[in-house]
Amino acid sequence: MKYVIAVANQKGGVGKTTTAVNLAFELSRSDKAVLLIDMDPQGNASTHLGVAEEQDQATTWDWFQRRSTLKEVVHKLNSGLDVLGSTSDLTAIELQLLEAADRTHRMRDLLQAENTYEYVIIDCPPSLSILTINALMCATHVLIPMQCEYFALEGLSALLKTIEAVRESGNDDLDIDGIVRTMYDPRNKLAREVSRQLFDHFGTSVYRTVVPRNVRLAEAPSHGKPVQVYDPRSRGAIAHSALAHEMLRRHAKHNAVEQINA
């Protein structure tokens, strides 16, 4: 099965981009063919990996306009990870899509025609924009990073309503891959309480792996490297490695059940 995973949360500052980048990198190190798509006009995922917009290279705009193939616009990193970087054109793409007949599913049509990857990880904007809707419409799964804080459950509720609306609008097979607790501090009483509520409401949808607050994790983007490269022995690197392998175990188990029931 090919997984297209939208990493999404309508609340900003929850570690969404950090999760998308380091998860994609770790999956690529696990011998998976992985494409990371930076759909956020801010371009933080691209910066995190040192991917710069080049004047002579076709861009995301060209891909969305069907002027270039996916192969022509991706950046191939030495690590084996492929990246479709954010560009200054993303805002223009957003405006252009608003007037298009296929405004909600342009990305789905493009990706379905060219996807050769086992995993496509999409870093979504921290808002309910037409780019976010495009990502959710083409995704098979949604991964939700969230902090265990006071307003977290309200933000989660809003995202779940959006996911349900996307299902009703044509992507009825969209599944929630799981919820990842980020910037987690077990010494914080509120964090523990919100974590408990997550397990009460969502059970096994909550990943057991937690991503802790970690200085090295926060420093890695400014060096243009995944945390696993910047400091492989850091708590942030260890956590994202564990998260990727928990995801692979979950997917292997699900695929085995699907084959039995087929």
Q: How many CB atoms lie within 10 A of CB 63?
A: 24
Residue 76 has pLDDT above 90, yes or no: yes
CA dist 2 and 61 (Å) reads 25
Q: Which residues pair with 147 in a beta bridge?
A: 182
Residue 54 has pLDDT above 80, yes or no: no
pLDDT digits (tens, 9 = 90+) for 11-45: 888 899 999 999 999 999 999 999 999 999 888 99
Residue 258 has pLDDT above 80, yes or no: no
Q: What architecture does CATH give domain 3-261?
A: 3-Layer(aba) Sandwich (3.40)
Among residues 259, 262, 255, 171, the alpha carbon closest in space to that of 1 is found at 255
pLDDT digits (tens, 9 = 90+) for 139-191: 999 999 999 988 888 888 889 999 999 999 999 999 999 999 999 999 999 99
Strands 175-184 and 75-76: unpaired
Q: What is the pLDDT of residue 151?
A: 81
Average pLDDT, the chain: 92
Q: What is the pLDDT of residue 16?
A: 95
Amino acid letter, residue 222:
S
CA dist 87 and 84 (Å) reads 9
Q: Are 58 and 73 in contact (CB under 8 A)?
A: yes
End-to-end CA distance of the chain: 13
Q: What's the half-sphere exposure (Cβ side, CA atoms, 13 Å) at 247? A: 29
Q: Which residues pair with 82 in a beta bridge?
A: 35, 76
Per domain, the residue ranges of the chain are: 3-261
Among residues 32, 199, 187, 47, the alpha carbon closest in space to that of 116 is found at 32
> Cα–Cα distances in Å, from 107 out to 110, 120, 125, 136?
5, 12, 15, 10
Q: How confident is the model at residue 114 (pLDDT cuts 50, 70, 90)?
A: very high
pLDDT digits (tens, 9 = 90+) for 199-226: 999 999 999 999 999 999 999 999 999 9
Q: How confident is the model at residue 242 (pLDDT cuts 50, 70, 90)?
A: very high
Expressed in percent and rounded to 5, the helix, strand and coil fractions of the chain are 50, 15, 35
Provide mean pLDDT across the span 53-77: 84
Q: Are 8 and 124 in contact (CB under 8 A)?
A: yes
Q: What is the pLDDT of residue 56?
A: 63
Q: What is the dihedral of CA 228, 114, 74, 88, to 10 degrees?
A: -110
Q: How confident is the model at residue 53 (pLDDT cuts 50, 70, 90)?
A: low
Provide mean pLDDT across the span 75-102: 87
List helix spans (H) across 39-147: 44-48, 60-64, 70-73, 90-98, 106-114, 130-138
pLDDT digits (tens, 9 = 90+) for 221-239: 999 999 999 999 999 999 9
Q: What is the pLDDT of residue 256?
A: 87
User: For the chain, how many residues are written?
Assistant: 262
